[in-house]
Amino acid sequence: MCIITLMSQISLKNIDKSYYEKDVLVDVDLQINPGDKLAIIGENGAGKTTLFRIILGLEQPDSENAEIIVAKNIVIGHLEQELSNASNESNALYDAEIYQTETKINKLTKQIAINNEEDQNLLREYAKATAKFESLDGYNYRYKLKSILAGLGISEETAHRPLSELSGGERMRISLARLLLKEPDVMLLDEPTNHLDHIATEWLEEFLTSTKSTVIFISHDRAFIDQIATKTAELEHGKLTLYNGNFSKFASLKKERESFLNKEISKLEDQVQRQAEITQTMLSHRKIGSYRSSQKKSRRLQARLNDLKSSKSKNPTSLKFDILKGIDLGDPNKIILSVKDLSVTFEGQSHSLFKPFSFSLRGKEKVIIVGKNGCGKTTLINSLLGEEKAAEGIVRLTKDIKYGVLRQLVEFFDESHTVIESLQWVDPHLTEGAARNRLALYGFRNIDVFKQLHTLSGGERRRLYLCHLLTENPDILFLDEPTNHLDINSSEILENALLNYEGAILAVSHDRYFIEKIGQYVLGFVDNEIKPYPNYKSFRLAEKNAYQKNSKQNDHIIKKRMINQSDENHSNNNINQNKEELVHTKKNNDLFSKQDLRLQQNLVNINHFPTNPVQTRKFRAISQEALSDLERKMNVCETKKIELEKNFSDAKDEKIYTEYDHLLKLIENYENLYLKILELQEQLD
């Protein structure tokens, strides 16, 4: 009988790590096998990122008997949660090795093209460079790049800008794109969805599910974990507990474990109490031998009870957000905010960010605003608060109503304040003891309350700001991505508190768990229009249907409009679509038409099908350069095509359709030439 053992890619044993006498990792064991999709969850500060840094060798464990084994030749890629903006790279997606190799190939190609004699040194250098380019997967690089840019919502312009010019969110998406392009053996992803909208998140889910790479990821996005994870590991009190399955399976198994522990604890508590009574009886009857025996048994039971209680997970409800009811809103059907014909048109734009929007928010409604990045969700919130200068329309709030706002960027009055000082500044009536008790509900305990604000992590800043916000007792909450940077436990407590909150909520979110749990309905951006939907799934279905409908109808509508146009230049700019037949004889028949040569100038150097090895090498080099250039041109045209299509509904000048027609023909010509070169390469093979 043959037993096959799966070889681990990464193995950790006996890992301990502590900071400032606080145990972060305690006797952690973990084994990563090829193809695993492992989610690591836990509260902020639990040690998840530390575990990543130990795997990467950036930190060393404290334990002397620790073992860290990484399989030979394994390539590990890492996406950090925070990135530096310092970079000397000229392009955000610059890959130095591929770029340098490609530059060398292009240089050699030109030298070979103008060299009429066979230069063995040049040919050897060219062969070596192309072999290296192939080993780096350079030829597929651009194809993968195009797909990943589209999936993550990164524009071509952004991809070619220096990292130092990009925002934090753009740098994170660029960093993720780089990692996915390389598709290493093992990916370590720290909060990969933090700066992605719902469309990019869904695309990333598909990518990570289908990739052959092993994926270890830290995330607080429960829906994302459900889609990706085959295993879930919870880091709590320094201990790492592994569960098979995704987040839903983990939650179910953990609930069963908690239920079992509660029963065991209850049973042991009864036994301890009975044994204490027996011990007291033995003492009162002066049965000293029996008393001592009973006392020992009682101690053993108490020790076992203490062990079970210490192994039990911390009760999630121990951390509570103190959300207090504001003024008595009375009838829940009472309208407290109304919007009529709200629109936003920024300077230099000819059309509004979204169509005029009318809406009413009632006293106890909880509404979530959803849509892809850039559609105007945050702008809508700012408009309702009267902070968007480009907004037009009517917004009414009930008189004397109090509201609180949590924005994506959390700022405090004085960053030199300590945590406890900042809360006492918000509410001067709070004593030190009362402030400490309130902060403990938000996860700030012991020496944490004396941290200065500028030293806090993103999650800590958000938790503290929520504490400040809700201490002020608002009647309406405006929340912009409230669960960003919060761990799962904090998110769930926030959600439960919001469900019990009697005021109104208007929140922007991409967190699907949060949306489904909190939102009574959603306001979704579809086709530049804001519409109400009963739930997130209904919104996504409408969004997908709108996209498919637009894709199918656009061509029909535009062609119909163009047929009705009379454009004098149409016949002059009409380009022959018929594909030329390839002639592969030893005669000097031209391979490319004058039109082809206009589309791709460097083809003049390979106007005849190769008949010897030297010509063959020249053909391969120049044709590959032509393909790369055609890809770039097609990408530019596609981007322009999308821009034109977005402006069709508001177009007042019929020239836009003529321009669109010319663009379609140009794209088709590029594609025809691209296919023609590929066919020639196949014939050569």
User: To the nearest whole number, what is the mean pLDDT of the chain?
Assistant: 78
| Beta strand 335-344 pairing with 357-362 | antiparallel
Is residue 374 located within the same domain as residue 474?
yes
Residue 296: per-residue pLDDT: 73
| Same domain (yes/no): 41, 128 | no
**Is the Cα dihedral 451, 452, 458, 463 positive or negative?**
positive
Q: Are residues 81 and 153 in the same domain?
A: no
Same domain, 218 and 262: no
Model confidence pLDDT, tens digit, residues 331-372 = 567 788 888 888 888 877 778 889 989 998 888 899 999 998
Higher pLDDT pick, 56 / 333: 56
What CATH number is associated with residue 375? 3.40.50.300
Same domain, 343 and 464: yes
Dist. CA 128–CA 419, nearest whole Å: 60
Answer whether residue 143 is part of any domain.
Answer: yes
Whether residues 267 and 372 share a domain: the answer is: no
b or e along 161-180 (b: 16 or more beta carbons within 10 Å of the residue's beta carbon)? bebeebeeebbbbbbbbbbb
Instruction: Say whether both 144 and 64 belong to one domain.
Output: no
Across the range 556-569, mean pLDDT stands at 48
In a domain, 388, yes or no: yes
- 623 against 223, higher pLDDT: 223
Q: Which residue has the higher pLDDT, 12 or 84?
A: 12
Give me the numbers of helices (H) and strands (E) for the chain, helices first please. Answer: 21, 18
Arithmetic mean of pLDDT, 265-293: 73
- 390 to each of 345, 358, 523, how far by Cα in Å? 6, 17, 21
Residue type, 501: Y
Query: What is the rounded (10 degree) CA torsion for 150, 156, 160, 162?
Result: -70
Instruction: Note whether residue 329 is domain-resident.
Output: no
What average pLDDT does this structure show over 614-626?
Answer: 79
Q: Is residue 555 part of a domain?
A: no
Instruction: From 124, 142, 164, give the residue that closes a domain.
Output: 164
Identify whether 670 is part of a domain. yes
105 & 241 share domain: no
Give the ranges where 10-62 is alpha helix by DSSP (H): 48-55
Structural domain contains residue 498: yes
**Where is the domain boundary, 222, 245, 268?**
245
Tell me the two tokens of residue 270: 């009864």
pLDDT band at 584 (very low <50, low <70, confident <90, very high): very low
Q: 529 pLDDT band (50/70/90 cuts)? A: very high
Confirm whether 542 is domain-assigned: no
User: Which has the minimum average pLDDT: 130-134, 277-281, 384-388?
Assistant: 277-281
Q: What pLDDT is recorded for position 530?
A: 94
The pLDDT score that the predictor gives to residue 583 is 33
Q: How confident is the model at residue 526 (pLDDT cuts 50, 70, 90)?
A: very high
H or E, element range at 32: strand 22-32
- Residue 92 and residue 174: Cα distance in Å, rounded? 7
Is pLDDT of 685 > 70? Answer: no
* Predicted confidence (pLDDT) at residue 442 exceeds the cutoff of 60: yes
Query: Is there a single domain that holds both residue 395 and residue 530?
Result: yes
> E strands of 192-273, at which residues?
214-218, 231-236, 239-244
Of 10 and 660, the one with more pLDDT: 10
Tens of pLDDT, residues 15-42? 998 876 678 898 899 999 999 999 999 8
Query: Which of helix, strand or coil describes residue 161?
Result: coil
361 phi and psi angles, rounded to 5 deg? -110, 130
Pairing mode of beta strands 37-41, 214-218: parallel
Task: Report yes or no on 546 lying in a domain.
Answer: no
pLDDT tens, 460-509?
Answer: 888 888 888 878 878 788 998 888 877 887 788 778 777 877 788 999 99
Burial of 664 (0-12, 13-18, 19+ CB in 10 A): middle
Flag whether pLDDT at 566 surpasses 60: no
Q: How confident is the model at residue 118 (pLDDT cuts 50, 70, 90)?
A: low
- Co-location of 118 and 40 in the same domain: no
Pair type for strands 504-508 and 366-370: parallel
Residues forming beta bridges with residue 30, ordered by sequence position: 12
pLDDT tens per residue across span 281-328: 776 666 666 666 767 777 777 777 776 666 554 444 333 333 333 434
Whether 148 and 170 share a structural domain: no
Q: Which helix (H) or strand (E) holds 340?
A: strand 335-344
Out of 214, 245, 276, a domain closes at 245
Q: How far apart are CA 501 and CA 44, in angstroms?
A: 24
What's the one-letter identity of residue 623? S
| Number of domains into which the chain is organized | 5
Whether residue 356 is found in the same domain as residue 494 = yes
How far is the C-alpha of 64 from the C-alpha of 180, rounded, in Å?
A: 36
Range of the domain at 134: 93-164
Length of the chain counted residue by residue: 685
Q: Tell me what pLDDT residue 100 has.
A: 84
Name the amino acid, one letter, at 463: R
